[in-house]
A and B are shown apart, each in its own frame.
Chain A
Amino acid sequence: MTPLLRRDRVFDFLAPPLPPDALLDTRHGPILYLEDISVSFDGFKALDDLSLYIDDGELRCIIGPNGAGKTTMMDVITGRTRPDTGSAWFGSRVDLLRLDEPAIAGAGIGRKFQKPTVFEKLSVVQNLELACHGDKAVWRTLLAALDADQRATVAGVLDTIGLAGHAHREAGALSHGQKQWLEIGMLLTQRPRLLLLDEPVAGMTQEEIERTAELFRALAGAHSVVVVEHDMEFVRSIANKVTVLHEGRVLVEGDMQAVQNDPRVIEVYLGE
């Protein structure tokens, strides 16, 4: 453990941000290790000894009935909720439980919220610029404009998410599906290694869903992608491997075909 990572919620005005990839070590396979994670809210166990491994470059879908603990799991990975027990590692060297949210984002984990969250008063392009990779210290944002590399990233992503025609519109004026895309775009300009996407296609039209599926498939490989989704059609169209969460634990893991035919999964979903 380097001393640099031992700062838990410390004001690091002067410390340089974590250099991307310098600390991420995925030589041992998985990019994300969650082991025996438990989280309880007032005695209610939202996560119960959850263990999950995501391989580098993998596209993983996570499904499960309402209240299964999917969002809570993402909260643990991104530093929003501290688990009661267990460990969470990003690569084999970054201990996520020792970092706060900005440090985790800086280490290369991007997250889309379940409820699409963009900066409504800012324009689409300003949203993307804010998310863009680079130094996020106060003085830098006051004094330095975006460099050419960052501007190219923003322009590229603006095309990818199909909002080039809306670049200067206020984000608050976008449709629900467009906001979802904008938020996904913000993750992309952030250049994370691992993307956590909580219900990314909710509120999208069929056509938008298909384009999103395409985008995610293209992202896998260079990125690791974890998608939480209720839309089974969508999951089927992108998934190699599916994890079913139920009552805070992993119920079944496997390919879509096997998972769908598993009697335990059928019971959980029919029992709803």
Chain B
Amino acid sequence: MITRWLMNDRGGAVMLGVLLLAALVVPLANLGIGADSPLHVSTYTVTLLGKYLCYAVLALALDLVWGYCGVLSLGHGAFFALGGYAMGMYLMRQIGERGVYGNPLLPDFMVFLNWERLPWYWHGFDMFWFALVMVALAPGLLAFVFGWLAFRSRVTGVYLSIITQALTYALMLAFFRNEMGFGGNNGLTDFKDLLGFDLQADATRVSLFLASAALLAIAYVACRHITGSRLGRVVVAVRDAENRARFLGYRVENYKLWVFTFSAVLAGLAGALYVPQVGIINPSEFQPLNSIELVIWVAVGGRGTLWGAAAGAVLVNYAKTSFTAVLPEVWLFALGALFVLTTLLLPRGLAGLLRNRGEAR
């Protein structure tokens, strides 16, 4: 069965192939080849690639709700950040006595604020499995409650996009506050190790890169499984003719709700792998601009294709890295121009371009 859908999904097959290749070559080129060789891949690059892969998972998550279900979320960065914070809390608790203040229980910022006790919601985060559950549960629950309210009231289109944007903005303001207990505007940082492995070690970095690649591959297969099932066709039906689906007996709200929640969980997982690689999570991850950039990645890659969205995330972020190294002020303008140009010239994104080529041949 798997071979059959890989045959029908050339883009996906290529993407999984490239991932597999990268998973074999990158560790070898980092750990196996000496730093003096031109074939060596630096740890900095490995981490950068791992970061791109996390973005690609986030793009997949958005493509599922936007490309297939027609729900344009302008707040998906919030779910990514929540997953990141859950992981960050675990990493903070791992620091233990090695913090600046040497407090075995309280993270530095709490000692700094003269807090006596660990807030109740920080309990349990010393256990990895608990943190993992929260990585999925926090964004999933938020998406479920938000979606339940929004979809049941039949909020759609631009209005829905605006309230998702408001959601992430509100969360950003909340996380900025010191009283919230998430480190205020500094966020969570100075992480030492994960599951006992030193986060600065090359081998840990490579493992995180591999985990990101694995997450992307699994997320892709899961999303493809959903879009290929009857559920996937109902979702497309809801996108294209919501009322028709409703009058056929589908509870449109439930469909949107489950897809939205699943997508949020996926975004949370991506955030959780992102944080140990970049070494910090702070409220700026909630900023509305991040969610909008995410929409641009998906639009550039080609929405409604999954692999296109993932490729778009990697390409645009590669461009961002290269661009900001030379002309940091210009990047936002370049991004805006990119979005306008894709909308006008490539409404189906790069994936659409490739597909047209294929059809013309």
B-contacting residues of A (Cβ < 8 Å)? Answer: 9, 11-13, 17, 78, 80, 101-102, 105-106, 110-111, 113, 117-122, 126, 129-131, 136-138, 141-146, 186, 190
How far apart sit A244 and B253, CA to CA, in the bound complex (Å)? 37
Given A17-B249, A137-B254, A138-B258, 12 other A-B residues pairs in contact with their CB atoms under 8 A: A11-B148, A11-B254, A102-B249, A102-B251, A110-B247, A117-B244, A120-B240, A121-B236, A126-B233, A130-B234, A136-B251, A141-B229
Bound CA–CA A67/B247 (angstroms): 23
Which B-chain residue is minimally distant from A127 (CB atoms)?
B237
Distance of A199 Cα from B347 Cα, bound (Å) = 35
Partner of B233, one of A78, A130, A137: A130
Nearest 9 pairs between A and B by C-beta?
Answer: A105-B249, A142-B231, A141-B230, A141-B231, A117-B244, A101-B246, A119-B237, A106-B249, A136-B249
Q: Which residues of B contact A130 (CB under 8 A)?
A: 230, 233-234, 237, 245, 248
Query: By the criterion CB–CB under 8 Å, are B152 and A9 in contact?
Result: yes
Q: Which of B229, B237, B248, B253 contacts A11 (CB 8 A)?
A: B253
- How long is the Cα–Cα vector from A102 to B229 in the complex, in angstroms? 21
- Can you offer 16 A-B residue contacts whose CB atoms are under 8 A? A13-B254, A80-B243, A102-B249, A105-B248, A119-B236, A119-B244, A121-B240, A122-B236, A129-B230, A130-B233, A130-B234, A130-B245, A137-B254, A138-B231, A138-B258, A141-B231
SS class of chain B's interface: helix, strand, loop or mixed? Answer: helix
Closest B residue to A126 using CB positions: B233
Q: How far is the CA of A136 from the CA of B249 in the complex (A)?
A: 7
Size of the chain B interface, CB-CB below 8 angstroms: 27
List of B residues within 8 angstroms of A143 by Cβ: 229
CB of B331 closer than 8 Å to a CB of A: no
A61 to B251, CA, bound (A): 30
Residue of A nearest to B257 (CB): A11
Q: Which residue of A lies closest to B238 (CB)?
A: A119
- Contact assessment for B255 and A111 in the assembled complex, using a CB-CB cutoff below 8 Å: no
Cβ-defined contact, A122 with B226, below 8 A: no
Measured between C-beta atoms, what is the minimum distance from A26 to chain B in Å?
20
- Closest Cβ of chain A: how far from B260's Cβ, in Å? 12
Interface check B159, CB cutoff 8 A = no
Tell me which residues from 281 to 323 in chain B have a Cβ below 8 Å from any Cβ of chain A.
Answer: none
Q: Is the CB of A102 within 8 A of B250?
A: yes
The complex places the Cα of A105 from the Cα of B245 at a distance, in Å, of: 10
